Structure 1
């Protein structure tokens, strides 16, 4: 082999060793950067997971508070409905046993009141001196049933309004 060829091979070999060494150094640097980025990414994911878990806990706490408020409202409205039903049942029983009679006050200025409907006995009550007519017990029962339905409707409406208000109101922090 000639000396010129030998120099050329030596230079090529030296260039290959230098390129290989540079390649290895770059590989180490790039590996370190990747490891550093992976660590940062891992830390970021851990922070995001902690924040998400805290948000889930806060939402669960809000939901629990709302469920407790709704349960208390439901219990209150159930008690009101039960009490109204008991009162209506007592009133119906008193009407059925003739312990209580419903009567209406007649309007003395109304020409229709001049009919020969016998006025009831003077009742002790808030209205003094007016002519009163007693209602038939069957009619009184129907009136009580109507007022019972109305009372139940009003209690149900109040429960619905309280529910809507509780759902739409922002939860306390």
Structure 2
């Protein structure tokens, strides 16, 4: 072999090695590029699925909240109606007491001699009332009793409303 070829052989070998390394580098780049693209696609699909699941969950919670608001509104209307009915009944009774249309009375104990009540224990033959003896209350006292029962009725209605609210939240 000629000395020129002997000097040229390492240069050709080096050039071939560099070309092979460049080709290998390109192949590696292509393979890793495909792998990274596949990973990016999978990650995008996973994120899309998570986003859809979160949106569905959020919609479900919004629907539940709306249903609860509707139930509470219906419950509130029911209890408001009961409260206004009780108030109207109390007002009617108070008006009837004020006009002496109705009188409140209490039963008297016929055996209680210590009370010193002058009301006879038995009704006379000409009486229309055959029941137990009763004493009428003063209209002012009757008004106070009605006010107390009105406050009690309001308290019971409010308690029922609170209990219904707690039951609705518990579901």
Q: How does 1:128-139 map to 2 (within 5 A)?
A: 128-139=130-141
Determine whether 1:26 maps to 2:28: yes
Measured after TM superposition, the shift of residue 150 of structure 1 is 0.3
Post-superposition shift, 1:123? 7.5
Give the count of matched residue pairs: 165
Deviation at 1:64, TM superposition (A): 1.2
Contact 2:106 2:135 in 1 (8 A): yes
Q: Structure 1 residues 118, 12: closer, same or farther in 2, change over 3 A?
A: farther
Match of 1:75 in 2: 77
Residue 164 (structure 1) shift:
0.7
Instruction: Note the C-alpha offset of 1:117.
Output: 6.2
Counterparts of 1:150-165 in structure 2, within 5 Å, are 150-165=152-167
Mark the runs of 5 or more structure 2 residues left unpaired by the alignment: none
TM-score (norm 1): 0.87
Per-residue CA deviations over 1:32-85 (Å, capped at 9, x if unaligned) read 111111111111111111111111111111111111111111000000000000
Query: Does 2:125 align with 1:143?
Result: no
Aligned to 1:61: 63
Choose 1 or 2 for highest CA Rg. Answer: 2
- Evaluate the alpha carbon distance shift between residue 72 and residue 93 of structure 1 in structure 2; reply closer, same or farther with a 3 A threshold: same
Alignment correspondent of 1:97: 99
Unaligned runs of 5+ residues in structure 1 are none
RMSD (CA atoms): 2.1
Contact 1:92–1:144 under 8 Å retained in 2: yes
State the distance in 2 between where 1:112 and 1:8 align.
Answer: 139
